[in-house]
């Protein structure tokens, strides 16, 4: 062995081995990312449901920081560029954007083919109507940790407006994560705050989840209470956590009080509920996006056996149940009831496939179907609901289905009329409405 060969082996080989390992791992990852994207295309799961990343190919270096930061594994690298390979898994937490070293990722709402209606908001969460603020799911951010942080930031912005001549500094409408966090912030700053919640308990959208549903969240810091360490927990555990927060901080929430309208008087407001009238300088809406449940509009829908959310699957034990809908909520409700002894569950959906559901729910539904625990009627529509049965139409054929209960999971109607009545402008986003990367870095309030 001559000196030149020795030098080559001594210096070049140790560098070549790590490089080859890196290239092999990169090739394997890109192969998996392509397969994941093809599965999403074949399943029709190419439309993200919420805030999601868009990658600038001219800036992206393919460093891989984004997919490593994504706990849902929704991002991959294809041809050296970041790609949202599993749009249905994306929950809009934004960790990918903060991990990008060159700012090649922008978070947006909607796509070119699927618009999302979002109230027009300033970076401090104030709407186009001065004094009315929006935080949480209604503004497009349903993630628990982000909603709670938005509630805190919105209350900071309200505090900076100063006190007015009204009896109340702010009325918070809704006691989900954003509403509770905002109420805590108001108490921290000794503000005169009234918080109302139309339900008999708190929890926001979480309240409408089936019993036992696993809720994904992340550690968060609440005013007065401090840090909450949660990652993956059940609906019940999360609700108990909120109960503990309210009990330890002694904040007051008016449960069972429904907002009926908001009157505008110059630079002040009167919030009218089913119990009282509250004069206030500011209003914070944290009411979520469910709005009014979307109904079927068929005869018999007013029967007591028809409900629009599943709370406890046990109440349907031994019963013949029809679940209507094709989204994750419908599949999760059908699956939960199908696990109850003696239940007979049928899932009706007007489409020819479950095109916008999480892969896990699709797999569990297919398994339940194979096990005989669940029946599925695709391309079917409910035409009439009777006391002992339900009438459906499936491609022109009438189906009379013996039935004890109907659960309609057809989504909710965004409270657009309420917002427009107040004067709040609604924008339909088609891949727009992201954030300022510099604002994120400086921890300034974000416009989403």
Summarised one tens digit per residue, pLDDT across range 323-342 is 999 988 899 999 999 999 99
Q: Which CATH architecture has domain 3-108?
A: 2-Layer Sandwich (3.30)
pLDDT tens for each residue of 217-235: 567 889 999 888 766 666 6
The pLDDT of residue 304: 92
Rounded (5°) CA angle 132-133-137: 135
Question: How far apart, in whole angstroms, are the C-alpha atoms of residue 117 and residue 104?
Answer: 25
Is the fold of 116-291+414-429 the same as that of 293-412?
yes
What pLDDT, on the 0 to 100 scale, is given for residue 442?
36
What is the model's pTM? Answer: 0.69
Domain edges within the chain: 3-108, 116-291+414-429, 293-412
- Among 6-20, 198-212, 251-265, 364-378, where is mean pLDDT lowest? 198-212
Task: Please tell me the predicted confidence (pLDDT) of residue 306.
Answer: 95
For the segment 248-273, what is each residue's pLDDT rounded down to a tens digit?
A: 999 999 998 989 999 999 899 999 99
CA distance 180 to 301: 34
Phi-psi bin for 204: left (phi > 0), alpha (psi -120 to 50), beta? left
- CA count, 13 A, side-chain hemisphere, 188: 16
Q: Are 325 and 349 in contact (CB under 8 A)?
A: yes
| pLDDT one-digit tens code per residue, 383-428 | 999 999 999 999 999 999 999 999 999 877 777 778 888 899 888 8
Q: What is the mean pLDDT of residues 1-27?
A: 70
pLDDT at 183 over 60: yes
Give the CATH architecture of domain 293-412. Answer: 3-Layer(bba) Sandwich (3.50)
Q: Would you state the structure tokens that stand for residue 161, as one six-digit string?
A: 């407006």
Distance CA 258, CA 80 (A): 52
Residues 6+ apart with CB under 8 A from 16: none
| pLDDT at residue 444 in the model | 36
Task: Specify the pLDDT at position 210.
Answer: 53
- Spell out the residues 6+ positions from residue 309 whose beta carbon is closer than 8 angstroms to its own: 208, 293, 407, 409
pLDDT at residue number 347 = 97
The CATH-assigned architecture of domain 116-291+414-429 is 3-Layer(bba) Sandwich (3.50)
Q: Is residue 111 packed enough to be buried (19+ CB in 10 Å), middle (13-18) or exposed (0-12)?
A: middle
Phi, psi of 66 (to 5 degrees): -70, -45
Cα 280 to Cα 131: distance, rounded to the nearest angstrom? 9
């Amino acid at each position: 062995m001559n000196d030149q060969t020795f030098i080559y082996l001594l210096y070049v080989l140790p560098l070549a081995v790590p490089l080859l390992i890196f290239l092999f791992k990169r090739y394997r990852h890109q192969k998996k990312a392509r397969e994941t994207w093809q599965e999403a295309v074949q399943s029709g799961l190419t439309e993200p449901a919420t805030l999601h990343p868009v990658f600038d190919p001219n800036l992206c270096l393919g460093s891989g920081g984004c997919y490593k930061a994504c706990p849902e594994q929704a991002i991959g690298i294809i041809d050296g560029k970041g790609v949202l390979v599993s749009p249905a898994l994306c929950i809009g937490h934004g960790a990918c954007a903060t991990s990008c070293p060159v700012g090649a990722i922008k978070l947006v709402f909607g796509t070119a083919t699927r618009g999302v209606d979002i109230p027009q908001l300033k970076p401090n969460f104030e709407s186009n109507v001065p004094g009315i603020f929006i935080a949480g799911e209604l503004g497009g951010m349903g993630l628990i940790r982000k909603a709670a942080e938005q509630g805190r930031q919105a209350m900071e912005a309200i505090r900076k407006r100063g006190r007015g001549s009204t009896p109340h500094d702010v009325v918070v409408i809704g006691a989900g994560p954003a509403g509770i966090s905002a109420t805590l912030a108001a108490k921290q700053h000794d503000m005169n705050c009234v918080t109302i919640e139309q339900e008999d308990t708190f929890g926001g959208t979480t309240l409408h989840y089936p019993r036992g549903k696993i809720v994904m969240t992340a550690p968060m810091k609440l005013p007065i209470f401090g840090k909450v360490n949660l990652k993956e927990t059940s609906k019940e555990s999360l609700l108990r956590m909120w109960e503990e927060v309210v009990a330890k901080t002694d904040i007051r929430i008016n449960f069972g009080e429904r907002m009926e309208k908001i009157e505008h008087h110059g630079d002040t407001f009167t919030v009218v509920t089913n119990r009282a009238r509250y004069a206030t300088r500011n209003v914070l809406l944290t009411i979520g996006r469910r709005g009014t449940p979307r109904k079927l509009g068929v005869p018999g829908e007013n029967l007591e056996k028809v409900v629009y959310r599943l709370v406890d699957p046990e109440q349907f034990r031994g019963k013949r149940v029809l679940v209507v809908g094709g989204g994750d909520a419908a599949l999760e409700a059908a699956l939960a009831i199908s696990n109850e002894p003696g239940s007979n569950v049928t899932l009706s959906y007007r489409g020819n496939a479950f095109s916008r559901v999480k892969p896990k729910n699709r797999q569990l539904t297919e398994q339940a179907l194979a096990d005989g625990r669940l029946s599925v009627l695709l391309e079917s529509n409910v035409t009439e609901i009777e006391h002992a049965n339900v009438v459906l139409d499936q491609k022109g054929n009438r189906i009379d289905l013996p039935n004890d209960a109907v659960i309609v999971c057809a989504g909710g109607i965004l409270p657009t009329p309420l917002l427009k009545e107040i004067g709040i402008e609604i924008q339909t986003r088609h891949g727009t409405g992201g954030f300022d990367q510099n604002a994120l870095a400086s921890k300034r309030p974000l416009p989403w």
